[in-house]
């Protein structure tokens, strides 16, 4: 986790004093302390999470003279779990420095999770220290496992790989009639996306990585599972995944009440947003339309899951240009699309006439 170099601290004033006038603070284990104006902040090392107060101010009054308003907290982390011999583990740090581990079966089989009706190809768990407990206790949390209980070593040990569900085999039903994974035709969808990119003078997508496809499929599975128990006739609430969970990747999503929606039809839905793009000022919050045309993006993978609530389609792009973070859309690409202003190679640079 990083802290801005300057301008983030509270200004000095009648009661707030310059941080250097207070007794120097000692950083706790696995942390550093950085200061600006009257404020000092706790900055945890990669893989550690701040627990307790993360900032404190240097104050002054006639009785205490210079003193720290609050005591800084500590930096904690999760105890590493031992990967069972029948699973493959891949751990990394997201853009905020938090640790996340993904588990898969060696041959790409579906997994049976304890207490879960879904059978995903990828199971992810992140190290978190929820505020719901006092004192806060750090643990491994996986949305597909539980939203109320942390993952224990015993839970990881009993995850099993389901024979006959390898990605090299034909698509299979993943639970009794209610939920199934239908791969559709990813290649056809990518070919169609490349046709749209060609219309905007963008290079075609290359063959996506297995990890990119696994991430798209995992989120499609997750959204289908989260919406399978909705009220009859209600519209599912399909959501974007958190940007922190897919660092460097963009995402499109689509839902249809029909169980027959193809991946190519979903890409056509995203392309149809061109009718609403402002080609005069080249600005609009059309995330689906813009994401697939970003020139710097080199690969995409599209996946879907189907249940009684409909078809849930997810596309993952690498590298991404837009992502969802803390309730707002963020943009890493700053120039306009289709020739609207100076270009730096991020967006396509030719004039495009929208379809009529």
CA nearest to 281, candidates 328, 332, 339, 235 = 339
Task: Specify the pLDDT at position 258.
Answer: 78
**Annotated domain spans of the chain:** 19-76, 88-162, 184-228+237-318
Task: Specify the pLDDT at position 175.
Answer: 33
Q: Which CATH superfamily hosts domain 19-76?
A: Complement Module, domain 1 (2.10.70.10)
Task: Specify the pLDDT at position 234.
Answer: 58
Please tell me whether the peptide bond between 319 and the residue prior to it is cis, using omega within 30 degrees of 0: yes
User: 337, exposed or middle or buried, with CB in 10 Å at 0-12, 13-18, 19+?
Assistant: buried
Round to whole Å and give the CA distance between 88 and 106.
6
Task: Specify the pLDDT at position 347.
Answer: 38
Round to whole Å and give the CA distance between 297 and 280.
24
Task: Specify the pLDDT at position 135.
Answer: 82
In this prediction, the residues of the chain whose per-residue pLDDT falls under 50 are 1-4, 167-184, 231, 323-356
Q: In terms of pTM, does the model score above 0.75?
A: no
Strand locations in the chain (E): 31-36, 39-44, 49-51, 55-61, 65-68, 74-76, 88-93, 99-104, 111-112, 123-128, 139-141, 160-161, 173-175, 179-181, 250-256, 299-307, 310-318, 322-325, 328-331
Round to whole Å and give the CA distance between 143 and 77.
19
CATH architecture of 184-228+237-318: 3-Layer(aba) Sandwich (3.40)
First vs last C-alpha separation in the chain: 48
């Amino acid at each position: 986790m990083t802290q801005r170099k300057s301008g983030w601290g509270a200004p000095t004033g009648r009661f707030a004093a310059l941080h250097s006038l207070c007794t120097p603070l000692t950083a706790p284990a696995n942390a550093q302390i950085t200061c600006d104006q009257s404020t000092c902040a706790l900055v945890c090392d990669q893989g550690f999470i701040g627990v307790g107060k993360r900032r404190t101010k240097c104050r002054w009054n006639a009785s205490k003279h210079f003193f720290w308003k609050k005591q800084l907290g500590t930096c904690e982390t999760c105890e590493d779990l031992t990967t069972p011999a029948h699973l493959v583990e891949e751990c990394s740090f997201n853009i905020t420095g938090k640790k996340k581990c993904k588990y898969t079966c060696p041959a790409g089989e579906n997994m049976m999770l304890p207490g879960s009706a879904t059978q995903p190809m990828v199971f992810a768990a992140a190290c978190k220290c929820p505020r719901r407990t006092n004192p806060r206790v750090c643990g491994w949390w996986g949305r597909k496992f539980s939203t109320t209980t942390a993952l224990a070593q015993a839970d990881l040990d009993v995850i099993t790989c389901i024979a006959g569900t390898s990605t090299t085999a034909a698509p299979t039903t993943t639970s009794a009639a209610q939920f199934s994974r239908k791969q559709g035709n990813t290649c056809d969808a990518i070919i169609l996306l490349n046709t749209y990119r060609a219309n905007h003078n963008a290079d075609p997508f290359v063959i996506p990585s297995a990890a990119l496809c696994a991430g798209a499929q995992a989120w499609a599975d997750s959204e289908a599972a989260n919406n399978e128990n909705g009220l009859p006739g209600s519209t599912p609430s399909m959501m974007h995944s958190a940007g922190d969970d897919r660092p460097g990747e963009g995402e499109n999503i689509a839902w249809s009440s029909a169980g027959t929606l193809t991946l190519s039809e979903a890409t056509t839905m995203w392309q149809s947003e061109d009718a609403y793009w402002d080609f005069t000022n080249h600005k609009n919050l059309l995330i689906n339309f813009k994401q697939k045309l970003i020139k710097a993006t080199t690969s995409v993978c599209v996946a879907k899951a189907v249940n009684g609530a409909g078809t849930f389609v997810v596309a993952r792009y690498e590298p991404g240009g837009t992502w969802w973070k803390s309730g707002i859309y963020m943009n890493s690409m700053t120039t306009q699309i289709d020739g609207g202003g100076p270009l730096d190679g991020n967006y396509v640079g030719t004039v495009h006439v929208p379809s009529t």
